[in-house]
């Protein structure tokens, strides 16, 4: 077993709980000690009852434990011993409760700590990390693997405590009867060796459970995200039968694990009765042991054997949760490797100053994963501050990738990006912390992506996420800018209308306009619109074009546009083709070059639209 991974999390627990962990451990030992002493009390009790003469067996400690009793009158000995016994059990029960609450506090606190570590790990990772990973896997880890790890950590601590517990009890039993205890111990070890196969099976089942839950969460997320496609194409049955089969396999996995656990339990119980019968027979028929000692054998056996069974079942459960340890440890390691920020960076409130000169790209190359072709191939460009730039090109030309690099979201393979002459991000690394970092720069950027995202909250909350200090008037102003004022006023609760899951209660165009308003509300230094008006009708699009016109000169605006008619007023156009910047210049200048890529795109769109409008008439 990869004990290293368990050790890693126990170290985390140690780091989290500190001295409390030791107190909890001492508590566990104390309780086990008290339970042990209550066994020891049985000897003088049996002695008082006349069933067992401790001195004749020369059992160490028992005679000295029983010695003070000689000062007590015979009539009071038994009540005294019984009272002591009850007192010990009461103290133990009380301590059990105190430590159980303490343990629950540590356990829950540690769980919260792990949840936070995973969530923060994700939040502080760079964007490239998310390009490689599947969103559903994070949900799987956070909702299914994390509790398994937490459970596993406690299982391993319990295992250790039970182990210590058993040692204490074995020690006490040894004092009472070394040969019998030795016999029980030997049988326990032999059975544990035999039961290794159950541990291996549990481990395999744990691995299968991890994979099955991964599929379950991935499928659920995909299907819920694609619900519209599923329903509109009538694919419900296909998905239900897939889901049914995954659930069946999960059920089966869990039943097989229970079977493994109960089978090993049955072995221990069977062995328990066989061994007890064997011992009693050996003690009585072969070793000619007196009945009093036989009672002791039963007591030792009934105390010790369940501990072995508990150790075995904890070991199996730990083995079952071990794959979750591997999954979580790997995720944390990957997050650490992809870390672009620290918590301290988030709290610095060190916004970059507004860009005053411009963005420069020098010899940028970028490839996704192990793709052979470059998504960005030797890009050199300059975007002056407070200008309006359009990036055009066919689908897949590299426009969005260029934007991601410009704002330091992805690190180029070669080359660098400079803001106002200062390096922002380069193949060698970032510019560092503080207000020159990509994070600080991005706080001055508003980026409206192709898939506008709205949170499941009210419209007001969605706007305030970007600009927490914005006043009501500023919000309406931003909405007006984004041609949304009219429709927002018509919403049942105005700004306080719930937008639903990812803004589902709005149309695609309305969502785009709200996201645009949110972007403006931030008063960014750089406004980036990636196909941000693609879902709008011509009237609203024209309205937004006019609003952007008004913004010109007060902030740097970069637009990615497929509809070239929307970029007539930009200062410069960048034409991308297969990752290369093939042309750069003013709109009129490029439009005049009828045989250039831009000229062809333009003439195709004009004739295409014309043809489309003729055919629709």
Contacts to ligand ATP by CB under 6 A: 131, 368-369, 371, 375, 393, 395-401
> Which of residues 372 and 550 has its CB atom nearest to ligand ATP in the complex?
372
In terms of DSSP bridges, do strands 376-384 and 358-366 run parallel, antiparallel, or are they unpaired?
Answer: antiparallel
Closest distance of CB 461 from ligand ATP, Å? 29
**Rounded least distance, CB 127 to ligand ATP, Å:** 10
Nearer residue to ligand ATP within complex by CB, 466 or 575: 575
Q: Which helix (H) or strand (E) holds 376?
A: strand 376-384
Are the beta carbons of 565 and 601 closer than 8 angstroms?
Answer: no
Q: By C-beta, is 304 or 375 nearer to ligand ATP?
A: 375
- Identify any residues that bridge with 560 across adjacent strands, giving them in sequence order: 391, 530
Rounded distance between C-alpha atoms, residue 488 and residue 465, angstroms: 18
What minimum distance in Å lies between the beta carbon of 264 and ligand ATP? 47
Residue 128 CB, shortest distance to ligand ATP, in Å, is 9
Closest distance between ligand ATP and the C-beta of residue 132, in Å? 8
Of 181 and 405, CB closest to ligand ATP: 405
C-alpha of 185 from chain center: 42
Question: How far is C-alpha 295 from the geometric centre of its chain's CA atoms?
Answer: 53
Closer residue to ligand ATP (CB): 369 or 432: 369
Nearest Cα to 137, choosing from 125, 122, 152, 123? 122
Nearer to ligand ATP, 371 or 615 (CB): 371
Complex with ligand ATP: residue 62 or 560, whichever CB lies closer:
560
Nearest CB to ligand ATP, comparing residues 326 and 534: 534
Determine the 3-state secondary structure of 447 from DSSP: strand
Q: Is 483 left (phi over 0), alpha (psi -120 to 50) or beta?
A: left
The whole-angstrom separation of Cα 495 and Cα 505 is 14
The minimum distance between CB 495 and ligand ATP, in angstroms, equals 32
Helix spans in 338-450 (H): 343-347, 399-406, 438-442
Minimum distance of ligand ATP from residue 450's CB (angstroms): 6
Q: Where are the beta strands (DSSP E) in 34-125?
A: none
Minimum CB separation from ligand ATP for residue 413, in Å? 13
The two three-digit tokens of residue 334, written as one number: 């990957």
Q: Would you say 128 or 357 has its CB closer to ligand ATP?
A: 128
**Closest by Cα among 371, 376, 406, 362 to 578:** 376
Do the Cβ atoms of 115 and 142 come closer than 8 Å?
Answer: yes
Q: At which residue do the structure tokens 């209660």 appear? A: 505
Considering Cα of 487, then 490, then 491, then 496, what sign does the dihedral take?
Answer: positive
Nearer to ligand ATP, 397 or 559 (CB): 397
| Beta bridge partner(s), residue 572 | 389
Give the nearer residue to ligand ATP in terms of CB position, either 43 or 559. 559
Give min distance, CB of 400 to ligand ATP, in A.
Answer: 3
- The backbone region for 386, taken as left when phi is positive above 0, alpha when psi lies in -120 to 50, beta otherwise, is left
Residue 128 tokens, joined: 């490239």
The closest of 221, 264, 260, 216 to 242, measured between CA atoms, is: 216
Closest distance of CB 596 from ligand ATP, Å:
18
Query: Sign (positive/negative) of CA torsion 577, 580, 583, 585?
Result: positive
Q: What minimum distance in Å lies between the beta carbon of 129 and ligand ATP?
A: 12
């Amino acid at each position: 077993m990869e004990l290293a991974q368990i050790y890693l999390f126990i170290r985390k627990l140690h780091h989290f709980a500190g001295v409390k962990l030791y107190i909890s451990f001492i508590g566990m030992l104390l309780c086990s000690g008290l339970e042990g002493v209550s066994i020891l009390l049985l000897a003088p009790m049996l002695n008082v009852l006349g069933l067992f003469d401790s001195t004749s067996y020369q059992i160490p400690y028992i005679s000295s434990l029983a010695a003070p009793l000689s000062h007590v009158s015979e009539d009071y000995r038994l009540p005294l011993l019984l009272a002591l016994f009850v007192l010990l059990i009461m103290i133990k029960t009380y301590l059990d409760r105190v430590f159980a609450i303490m343990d629950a506090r540590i356990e829950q606190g540690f769980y919260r700590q792990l949840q936070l570590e995973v969530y923060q790990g994700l939040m502080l990772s760079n964007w490239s990390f998310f390009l490689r990973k599947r969103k559903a896997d994070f949900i799987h880890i956070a909702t299914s693997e994390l509790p398994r790890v937490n459970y596993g950590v406690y299982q391993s601590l319990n295992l250790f405590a039970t182990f210590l517990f058993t040692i204490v009890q074995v020690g006490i039993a040894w004092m009472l009867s070394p040969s019998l205890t030795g016999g029980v111990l030997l049988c326990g070890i032999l059975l544990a060796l035999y039961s290794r196969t159950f541990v291996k099976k549990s481990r395999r089942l744990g691995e299968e459970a991890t994979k099955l839950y991964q599929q379950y969460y991935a499928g659920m997320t995909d299907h819920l995200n694609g619900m519209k496609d599923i329903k509109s194409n009538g694919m419900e049955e296909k998905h239900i039968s897939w889901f049914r089969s995954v659930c069946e396999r999960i059920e089966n996995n869990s039943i097989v694990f229970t079977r493994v656990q109960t089978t090993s339990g049955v072995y221990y119980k069977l062995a328990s009765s066989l061994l007890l019968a064997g011992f009693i027979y050996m003690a009585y028929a072969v070793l000619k042991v007196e009945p009093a000692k036989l009672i002791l054998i039963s007591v030792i056996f009934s105390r010790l054997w369940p501990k072995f069974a508990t150790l075995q079942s904890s070991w199996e459960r730990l083995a079952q949760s071990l794959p979750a340890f591997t999954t979580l440890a790997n995720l944390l390691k990957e997050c650490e490797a992809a870390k672009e920020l620290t918590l301290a960076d988030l709290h610095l409130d060190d916004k970059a100053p507004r860009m005053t000169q411009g963005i420069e790209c020098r010899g940028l190359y970028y490839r996704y994963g192990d793709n052979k072709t470059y998504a960005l191939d030797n890009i050199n460009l300059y975007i002056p501050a407070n200008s309006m730039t359009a990036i055009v090109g066919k689908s897949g030309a590299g426009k969005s990738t260029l934007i991601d690099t410009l704002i330091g979201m992805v690190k180029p393979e070669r080359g660098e990006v400079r803001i106002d002459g200062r390096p922002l991000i380069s193949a060698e690394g970032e510019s560092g912390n503080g207000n020159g970092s990509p994070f600080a720069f991005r706080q001055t950027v508003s980026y409206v992506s192709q898939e506008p995202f709205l949170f499941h909250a009210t419209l007001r909350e969605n706007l305030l996420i970007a600009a927490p200090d914005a006043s009501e008037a500023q919000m309406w102003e931003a909405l007006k800018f984004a041609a949304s004022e009219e429709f927002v006023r018509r919403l049942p609760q105005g700004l306080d209308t719930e937008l639903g899951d990812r803004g589902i209660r709005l149309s695609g165009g309305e969502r785009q306009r709200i996201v645009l308003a949110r972007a403006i509300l931030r008063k960014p230094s750089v406004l980036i619109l990636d196909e941000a008006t693609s879902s709008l009708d011509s009237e609203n699009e024209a309205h937004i074009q006019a609003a952007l016109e008004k913004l010109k000169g007060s902030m740097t605006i970069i637009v990615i546009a497929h509809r070239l008619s929307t970029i007539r007023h930009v200062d410069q156009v960048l034409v991308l083709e297969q990752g290369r910047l093939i042309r750069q210049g003013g709109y009129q200048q490029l439009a005049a070059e009828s045989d250039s890529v831009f000229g062809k795109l333009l003439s195709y769109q004009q004739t295409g639209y014309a043809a489309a409008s003729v055919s629709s008439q």
